[in-house]
Structure 1
């Protein structure tokens, strides 16, 4: 007798409520009935404290589905050197009860770390029992010329990573098509940041899905029809919300869009 596949969870990234706090992310996730929270580690002390995060998870009945390592330019001072960021993120993931760690590819100037990244990720996964999902980024351009910012590349497709996180907005900025990338990645696609973008220049817009050019509905339906067993995480920008309730309305639309097109 055949059984229906499990529904794909839709979680909320704590980055989606910025400049509000991690605490606010858990509260909003509960209010809107998300299936969990991805915690982006930042300069905020609570985002670095597994005990505090577990308390928030219990208080708001929201599972922590993933830890986003502090590998952004803006978090270069968090947890010291590059490999320590990976180690601490893996340790925290295990402590809060999840097994996915999202990381950005190395910057070219991160000597040693960049050259050893591929093998180091495999080693860290094995030692900590987690899935380190390398996120797609986009080319940096000045006066129309691409700067070589990432090593080995900003695009994880075809690089041999066991696990990949795909971000729709980064795909738009890079001039790529998310649906095509999903097809190419196959079972390596582990984690998804749901958003959208129009692209052009260096804009990383993180729009509500459906407001850009990324064929979001078709890409989500592709996941629903596949064996994808990861999590889709809403990672839109709400920092321009001006009036009470506008942020929540944007996030509610994102959640409804995801559930509609991910239905199995």
Structure 2
């Protein structure tokens, strides 16, 4: 087993429930889960999540704050209240990380104070607020900048980052160059894949064109101290068995390349070192 823990995002089992994600994570041998807080009432209920973690013996390693368009009314319509509740949930559940997206451009007051506000909240807790890289929205030949201050969090001064390899594919970003810019502030990884289309694909790692294997080996060689979370799209699976086949493949791919990295020397330049 690699030193870095490999968790299952509860979003990876959609349209199955949050509760189903805990059962699947336990049976397939994941080290924990990242809870995507969304419209499923269980994902919003700290006590229900605690009972699931205890029942299946699967710790909650991270909480993904409700930052999606479909979750704008989850845990309040005020974005700072959402983050405060995410921090409280993480503290009560023993999670080390809150994953947060940059604001939408139309959230003007929130966007204006986001960088300083994230720093302020981070200084009030041991929980990491890891800001995730996003992407421009595209339709045919048009591109919309939907996030502010921007979709690339390395343009700003944050204490911790989340790298998502489906998002680097969608934004057509050089993934390893972004990881270099994040440096020792890289605190969390969403492992997935993509082919650079206009869609956020979240393919099983190894099925797209992202440097998933290289990144995992690099992280492990540099003794990465965060968590690696499998966040893939299985909604097109024709059966529960097909979904679990995809998740098993993703887990095995991730662990295999983390283990390969442990046998390598640390790469020059301190890429993706321990946060």
TM-score computed with the length of structure 2 as normaliser: 0.91
Distance 2:115 2:195 in 1: 31
Aligned partner of 1:236 among 232, 241, 244: 232
Aligned partner of 1:173 among 170, 182, 198: 170
Q: Contact (CA 8 Å) 2:5, 2:228: kept in 1 or not? A: yes
**The residue matched to 2:130 in structure 1 has which SS?**
strand
Q: Contact (CA 8 Å) 1:91, 1:128: kept in 2 or not? A: no
Unmatched segments (≥5 aa) in structure 2 = 263-275
Per the alignment, residue 150 of structure 1 pairs with 147
Per the alignment, residue 123 of structure 1 pairs with 120
TM-score computed with the length of structure 1 as normaliser: 0.95
What is the Cα deviation at residue 143 of structure 1?
A: 4.3
Per the alignment, residue 43 of structure 2 pairs with 47
Aligned partner of 1:95 among 92, 108, 111: 92
Q: Deviations over 1:20-48 (max 9, x none)?
A: 11110000000000000000001111111
| Pairing 1:112–2:100 present | no
Q: Deviations over 1:58-100 (max 9, x none)?
A: 1111110000000111111111211111111001100111120
Aligned-residue CA RMSD (Å): 1.2
What is the Cα deviation at residue 147 of structure 1?
A: 1.6
Q: Contact (CA 8 Å) 2:65, 2:99: kept in 1 or not? A: yes
Distance 1:129 1:49 in 2: 22
Distance 2:143 2:240 in 1: 40
| Pairing 1:227–2:220 present | no
Unmatched segments (≥5 aa) in structure 1 = 1-5
Per the alignment, residue 180 of structure 2 pairs with 183
What is the Cα deviation at residue 199 of structure 1?
A: 1.4
Aligned partner of 2:25 among 23, 29, 38: 29
Higher mean C-alpha deviation, range 157-166 or range 132-141? 157-166
Distance 2:240 2:186 in 1: 36
Distance 2:118 2:175 in 1: 24
Distance 1:110 1:247 in 2: 36
